[in-house]
Amino acid sequence: MNILKGPFKLYLKEKAALGNKNYLTRAKSGISYGESTLHLGELTKITTSHHLDLTRSIFFGDFSILAGIRSQLWTHGYYHSNQGADRVRIDGEIFIGDNVYVGSGCIFNPGVRVANAVHIGGGCTVSKNLDKSGMYVNQGLRYIENDLQNIRKKLTKVEGFDLVEEVYKKE
């Protein structure tokens, strides 16, 4: 059995399939905004025990698979100030191309895009676009100097939806 919670659309092309024990969720209006869709292309499969956050949309092309178990696709995240309670939410749609294989236990961050004909090894964190066809495996942990004001400058503020918190989108 799958668990589907929240206001989102589910679109499955011919022979696309959603396995079992998957958790698809989206918060109510005021926390989320606009429409959100999970789109599975032709013969695309989501196997079992995966978590898909549909704060924003997730698109899979044709002949792709979210394989194994326990992968997480996040379309929202937070960036906190260096001090105090200030923070912003960062939203971004996830686009996964045609003929993509995603191994077990992968984590996708908001706003990433994966090109066609990509193979992602198990346990990878996808935090940037994968623009070139081929195989990707985990990257080494690295330090990135940043702060909240710099993050705000790089993103677009979401306005006009009566949201309960400050939200920016990654495009």
Q: Which helix (H) or strand (E) holds 168?
A: strand 167-169
The full set of domain ranges for the chain reads 3-169
Q: How much is the average pLDDT of 18-29? A: 97
Tens of pLDDT, residue by residue over 44-82, are 999 999 999 999 999 999 999 999 999 999 999 999 999
CATH pick for 3-169 out of 1.20.1630.10, 2.40.10.120, 2.160.10.10, 3.40.50.1820: 2.160.10.10
Mean pLDDT computed over every residue of the chain: 95
- What does pTM read for this prediction? 0.88
- Stated as kind and residue range, the H or E segment containing 79 is strand 76-80
Q: Which helix (H) or strand (E) holds 89?
A: strand 87-91
